Structure 1
Amino acid sequence: MNNESSGWGSAARGAVALYVLGMIGVAALAIYSVPSLRSIPELAVLSYPTLVLIAAANSTILLAVFVALGAATAPRTGLHSHVFAWASGGTPDWDAYRRALPLAVGLGAGLFGLVTVLDVAFTPFTELESVNPAGDAAALEDLFASIPMRLLYGGITEEILLRWGVMAPIVFVLWWVRNRVGERMEEPPAAVLWVAILASAVAFGLGHLPALASTFDLTPALVVRTVLLNTIVGVALGWLFWRRSLETAMVAHAAFHVVLVGVSVVAMLLF
């Protein structure tokens, strides 16, 4: 009983650490969302702190659920987080993390290039500009305002939600089913990991549709484009989580947005 309690206590400490890390992104998203909430007449009279709390409410709850799911499943499947290992009393391999940084940054930048090319290919069907040429001050100001949200919520919180909280539980469930119907395996086979990577990547793609729908009328071509491009990114990030660590996937995700913002700023200033 003492060993079991200690195990759950360690996992709880790891989960709290990831939750606190993810809440940084939730706060960034909530702050970025306040101007949109203030445009709603019923909410315009509320104070700034109240609007921040309203904007953060759903993400705060979802983050708690998905962190707990990942904490219960990821360590059992071999999927790794250095932060979780550190907080739970394990031995995080920070040297391995540092060695993986060039791969993470390069992959993030490469993904942006691939997505941009595919986005251009989709333009005749979606009738959307692949890079926003509007160089007015308001568009530039909004882009700069979105940087904390992109880097912190996109780079950190989305990885905790989708990779830690979705991919890891899928791996665990599929592995459990595989062991029940076939020969028992001591660790999840590669096929199980790839199914989980793809499933969480598709969920990542679908998760971008509500925000898109708030700006554009969703057409079949636009839905396919959005889900496909984000699924491609999600597959690469899921692979990084599997082969390196959750934090490596976070860096790659953040690098994607760094390049995106840089290219967007240049495009806005030149065109």
Structure 2
Amino acid sequence: MAVDTAARADAAHAPAQPGKWRLGGTLWLLGMPGVVAVVWTLLPTLKANAALLPLAPEVVLLLSGLQTSALLALAVALGVWLAPRVGLQAPAVSAWLAGRPAGPALRAQLLPGIVGGVAGAAWLWVLSRLAPTALQPSDPASAMPLVVKLLYGGITEELMVRWGVMTLLLWLGWRLLQRGQGRPGKGLVAAAVLLSAVLFAVGHLPAAQALAGVLTVPVVAFVLVGNTVFGLVAGWLFARQGLEAAIIAHVLAHWLSSPLL
């Protein structure tokens, strides 16, 4: 009886958590501007190649947007369902939705996120100096707009790769190797960070192929190494600080590096 009373007392004093539907819907809406931005940039290219398309460019654009939106929804749902089980969180968003001040949770992530963003910007600058000729756009105007990098790269990618994929990888390792008992070990967390960073890098290969025309060994190595390094930074921030820290770092890295590239 005493144990039950203590447990009820602890539950009464535990911070309120937002419902899964509210958290999922909020995170999905947070990632949707990035989806709209990246899909919208495809329209000129689709119209220029309209004769090669099986459908009207606007229809292809709509289908592409729906597909990306569905993938975002799946990633968000995985994170919402699995993250609490393995100790991952979006503390500022969760606090806000639960009616608690989001400021303390956000401030705790701000400095790590800024440090990660500055380091990421420096890394992007280094990569720009080492990039293979095939990955350097002949027309600077054809480069990805900054707004797409900030919204899709900085927010949507973090929701899909870190919140969705990394959470799933950590949960799978935790279930298989720890039988779902206790907190995931440091080795499992490190493995999830690494694997999600590699998958994050692999996801950039189609864009590299579109730019380079062919995936040569130097191009593949450059894309994989360059993106994996930043993926490690973002994954570590997510694991140690929270999702918002990874988003801050990713957005800041693109924003700070943009004038230097």
- Alignment counterpart, residue 191 of structure 1, candidates 172, 187, 190: 187
Residue of structure 2 in register with 1:269 after alignment: none
Counterpart CA distance in 2 for 1:169 and 1:53 is 28
Residue of structure 1 in register with 2:6 after alignment: none
Residue of structure 1 in register with 2:165 after alignment: 166
Residue of structure 2 in register with 1:233 after alignment: 230
Counterpart CA distance in 1 for 2:172 and 2:101 is 25
Counterpart CA distance in 2 for 1:188 and 1:45 is 48
Q: Helix, strand or coil: the match of 1:214?
A: helix
In structure 2, what residue type is equivalent to 1:159? Answer: E
Counterpart CA distance in 2 for 1:163 and 1:90 is 25
- Alignment counterpart, residue 204 of structure 2, candidates 204, 208, 224: 208
- Alignment counterpart, residue 252 of structure 2, candidates 251, 255, 262: 255
Matched, 1:22 2:31: yes
Matched, 1:57 2:69: no
Residue of structure 1 in register with 2:75 after alignment: 66
Matched, 1:139 2:136: no
Deviation at 1:224, TM superposition (A): 1.0
Aligned residues: 244
Range moving further from structure 2, 76-85 or 233-242: 76-85
Deviation at 1:92, TM superposition (A): 6.6
Counterpart CA distance in 1 for 2:100 and 2:165 is 24
In structure 1, what residue type is equivalent to 2:104? Answer: D
Residue of structure 2 in register with 1:267 after alignment: none
Q: TM-score, normalised by structure 1?
A: 0.80
Deviation at 1:69, TM superposition (A): 1.1
Q: Helix, strand or coil: the match of 1:80?
A: coil
**Partner deviation per Cα, 1:111-153 (whole Å, 9 max, x = no partner):** 22134335545x5xx4457x76x7xxx624x45x711111000
Counterpart CA distance in 2 for 1:156 and 1:47 is 26
Gaps of 5+ in 2: 1-15
Change (3 A) 1:62 1:45: closer
Counterpart CA distance in 2 for 1:114 and 1:29 is 23
Deviation at 1:103, TM superposition (A): 2.6
In structure 2, what residue type is equivalent to 1:162? Answer: V
1:102-113 correspondence to structure 2 within 5 Å = 102-113=111-122
Q: Helix, strand or coil: the match of 1:160?
A: helix
- Alignment counterpart, residue 10 of structure 1, candidates 19, 22, 28: 19
In structure 1, what residue type is equivalent to 2:217? Answer: P
Q: Determine if contact 1:82/1:92 at 8 Å carries over to the other structure.
A: no
Counterpart CA distance in 2 for 1:84 and 1:98 is 12
Q: Determine if contact 1:119/1:225 at 8 Å carries over to the other structure.
A: no
In structure 2, what residue type is equivalent to 1:59? Answer: T
1:29-48 correspondence to structure 2 within 5 Å = 29-42=38-51, 46=56
**Partner deviation per Cα, 1:210-256 (whole Å, 9 max, x = no partner):** 01101112101210110111000000000010111111111100111
Deviation at 1:198, TM superposition (A): 0.4
Range moving further from structure 2, 99-108 or 21-30: 99-108
Range moving further from structure 2, 51-60 or 241-250: 51-60
Counterpart CA distance in 2 for 1:71 and 1:170 is 14
1:144-155 correspondence to structure 2 within 5 Å = 146-155=145-154
Identity of aligned residues (%): 32
Deviation at 1:89, TM superposition (A): 3.1
In structure 2, what residue type is equivalent to 1:139? Answer: P
> CA RMSD, aligned part only?
2.8
Change (3 A) 1:252 1:259: same
Change (3 A) 1:150 1:196: same
